[in-house]
Amino acid sequence: MLTEGRLDLFTAKTAVSVIRYCKEEVIALIDSVNAGKDPESIIGIGKGIPIVHTIEDILHLKPNALLIGIAPPGGMLPAEWRKHIADALRNGLHIISGLHCHLNEDREFHQLATEHHVKIWDIRKPSEDIPLGSGKAKNTKTLRILTVGSDCNIGKMVTSLEITNAARNRGINARFVATGQTGIMIDGSGIAVDHVISDFISGAAEKLVLDRAQYPLLSIEGQGTIVHPAYSGVTLGLLHGSAPQGLILCHQPARKTLRHFNDFSILPLSYLIDLYEKLAQPVFPCRVLGISLNCFGMADRDALQEIQKIERETKLPATDPIKFGVGKFMDSVLSLLP
């Protein structure tokens, strides 16, 4: 995976999540700034995965693909990364990219891929069969749980994955529904809804539900936040298109302003709970079932104190899925099963 100079929990969230859920597939990280270090000392996971300077350093390990490990605002390719990608193509590696810019449409990369008989997978490129939303998801019998947030890049995908795993551990045939590039890389299917034309976002969410309606429980990955000046549209489209019966609100206690948008404060959870429920109601009423907290960087004792505080304030179960699991949510979630 390529993380060149950007290996941290949030900027390299794609790489971090793939390590967390698909570690056995990761041979190495390419990052000359952090070469020689152990990923665990930087992002808290990935112990033993080597960090190297270049593609050439790990060719002896026989890699078959280079995965672009970042999800920057706007989703564009850093100019200094082009050499790494070109080197990977010349050495016969496929490219897996979740960027908004489609690398397969880049003349140099496309030519190199053709010459060396490899593929470039642009994960965010949507299919052409996405319909307009029509409200059909609410007529399915499957239980639909959607994660929403107080901000973007705050743990919605992780929470959805952990709920899926917890449900399976209880004998429920649950399915994670990927709506972003990283989730698609982990699950192998889905639609990156933030790259869908705005009129069709709810239709994309609806299609994801209808295509998986045979599962008793769908844990649907949320995107953005309803109050974000840039990303609110995709959040509302997911909310209306998937017609969830339950929501899990994700929040990072240490974050006071929207990420990359410091003029906008994180709003109180009570306000957001009320707002999400009211916006959902005209299409399909639902309620917030719990609060998922991202307490990265906090000691467990401090995280537990924050969890207790949030539970007192919201009267809802709260937890950090990575530190303490999602068991607190599961009784509420499973009580909604038909």
Give kind and range of the element (H or E) at residue 260.
Answer: none
Record the tokens describing residue 25, joined without a space. 């597939």
Record the tokens describing residue 337, joined without a space. 């099963």
Which CATH number, 3.40.50.300, 3.30.565.40, 3.30.2450.30, 1.20.1600.10, labels domain 136-334? Answer: 3.40.50.300
CA distance 148 to 59: 41
CA distance 79 to 56: 20
Common-topology check for domains 13-122 and 136-334: yes
Distances (CA, A) of 186 to 79, 180, 193: 26, 10, 16
In the sheet that holds 65-67, the strands lie side by side as 65-67, 94-97, 120-122
Alpha carbon 51 to chain centroid, angstroms = 23
Cβ neighbors of 60 (< 8 A, separation 6 or more) are none
CA distance 264 to 4: 29
CA distance 225 to 194: 12
pLDDT of residue 297: 87
CATH 3.40.50.1370, domain 13-122, yes or no: no
Per the document, the length of the chain is 338
CA distance 122 to 263: 33
DSSP 34-82: TTTS-THHHHS--TT--EESSGGGGGGG---EEEB----TT-PPPGGGH
Sign of the dihedral defined by the CA atoms of residues 76, 15, 152, 128, in that order: positive
pTM: 0.93
pLDDT of residue 338: 82
Block residue for tokens 């719990």:
290
Domain boundaries defined on the chain:
13-122, 136-334
Q: Which pLDDT tens digits describe the chain residue by residue (338 residues)?
A: 999 999 998 889 899 999 999 999 999 999 999 999 999 999 999 999 999 999 999 999 999 999 999 877 667 888 889 999 999 999 999 999 999 899 999 999 999 999 999 999 999 998 889 999 999 999 999 999 999 999 999 999 999 999 999 999 999 999 999 999 999 999 999 999 999 999 999 999 999 999 999 999 999 999 999 999 999 999 999 999 999 999 999 999 999 999 889 999 999 999 999 999 999 999 999 999 999 999 988 999 999 999 999 999 999 999 999 999 999 999 999 999 98
Beta bridge partners of 120: 95
pLDDT of residue 10: 83
pLDDT of residue 127: 87
Is residue 221 a contact partner of residue 183, using CB atoms and an 8 Å limit? Answer: yes
Is residue 232 a contact partner of residue 269, using CB atoms and an 8 Å limit? Answer: no
Is residue 325 a contact partner of residue 337, using CB atoms and an 8 Å limit? Answer: no
Block residue for tokens 């109180």:
268
Is residue 247 a contact partner of residue 292, using CB atoms and an 8 Å limit? Answer: no
Name the H helices within the chain: 13-22, 40-43, 82-90, 107-115, 156-169, 181-187, 201-210, 232-242, 269-280, 300-314, 321-324, 327-334
